[in-house]
């Protein structure tokens, strides 16, 4: 699943993945999932035959969209694939393209913007409180009191259930919300403050560290963040 423009959100039993236009989401057959879109989203879906699907993880994953992977996805799902000429590519040509696509995904790094689903009631309540108040820099102790848990308990639950620190979890929530706001057309300054950063500069630094592009460049590019050259494969 690929968003040529906009942002997709893929929900599974494990949690929620943000899939902007420089990522590709993979969901194996038989895995229950749902998705939603944000902004002017152009969603493309490609189905893999079982022999090729078995070469990818047996769990949902999100990969960096290389330039070649993106072009194959666009070519296989563009308007030329439908009426009045639904067979732009022969069956053998499509199979070859799918093989290259799978090779690209296998070589690409997994780069999820993943919000794992907590099972503990206190963490679930904490997530709701945080999502409703991301523009506030409320301390973990204050948030913990709101859900009836100490800072120590929150830290332990985050570590054991989600494998994250409180800071890492909140940053993921903020970046995810920022992607949605940028897709909906909000500018960088508004997005920075709405997601809880003290100033646009700190937001730009955090966003760039996760997404590999400044929010301004990401928002301006119709196909997501520009892809850096991969010197390791030249």
Say if residues 63 and 102 touch (Cβ distance below 8 Å): no
The DSSP bridge pattern shows strands 15-19 and 23-26 to be unpaired
**pLDDT exceeds 80 at position 109:** no
Cα Rg, the chain, nearest whole Å: 19
pLDDT the model gives residue 195? 94
Say if residues 33 and 60 touch (Cβ distance below 8 Å): yes
| Residue length of the chain | 234
The residue written with tokens 């290259």 in the block is 100
Helical H segments across 78-165, by residue range: 91-107, 121-132, 140-147, 151-157
pTM more than 0.85: no
Q: Domain limits of the chain?
A: 2-113, 119-220
**Integer Cα distance of 145 and 28 in angstroms:** 40
**pLDDT exceeds 50 at position 233:** no
Residue 37's pLDDT band (cuts 50, 70, 90): confident
pLDDT (average), residues 193-212? 92
Cα→Cα distances 27→12, 69, 222, 231, Å: 9, 16, 24, 29
94, two tokens = 């499509």
**pLDDT exceeds 80 at position 86:** no
* CATH annotation of 119-220: 1.10.10.60
Lowest mean pLDDT segment, chosen from 105-119, 128-142, 168-182: 105-119
Label residues 12-34 b or e (16+ Cβ within 10 Å = b).
beeebbbbbbbbbbbbeeeeeee
Which residues face 10 on adjacent strands? 17, 35
Which helix or strand (DSSP H or E) is residue 57 part of?
A: none
What residue ranges in the chain does DSSP mark as E strands?
Answer: 2-12, 15-19, 23-26, 34-44, 61-64, 113-116
Task: Compare 191 and 133 and report the one with higher pLDDT.
Answer: 191
């Amino acid at each position: 699943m690929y968003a040529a423009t906009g942002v997709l959100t893929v929900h599974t039993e494990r949690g929620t993945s943000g899939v902007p236009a420089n990522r590709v989401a993979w969901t194996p057959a038989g895995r229950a999932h749902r998705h939603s879109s944000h902004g002017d989203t152009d969603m493309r879906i490609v189905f893999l035959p079982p022999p090729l699907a078995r070469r990818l993880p047996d769990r949902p994953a999100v990969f960096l969209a290389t330039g070649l992977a993106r072009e194959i996805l666009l070519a296989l799902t563009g308007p030329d694939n439908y009426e009045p000429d639904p067979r732009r590519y022969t069956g053998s040509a499509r199979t070859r393209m799918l093989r290259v696509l799978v090779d690209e995904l296998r070589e690409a790094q997994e780069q999820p913007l993943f919000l794992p689903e907590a099972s503990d009631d206190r963490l679930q309540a904490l997530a709701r409180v945080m999502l409703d108040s991301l523009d506030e820099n409320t301390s973990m102790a204050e948030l913990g009191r709101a859900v009836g848990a100490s800072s120590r308990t929150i830290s332990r639950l985050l570590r054991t259930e989600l494998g994250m620190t409180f800071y890492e979890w909140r940053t993921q929530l903020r970046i995810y919300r920022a992607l949605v706001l940028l897709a909906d057309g909000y500018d960088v300054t508004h997005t920075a403050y709405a997601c809880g950063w003290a100033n646009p500069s700190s937001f730009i630094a955090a966003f760039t560290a996760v997404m590999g592009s400044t929010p301004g460049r990401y928002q301006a590019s119709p196909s997501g963040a520009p892809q850096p050259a991969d010197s390791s494969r030249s």
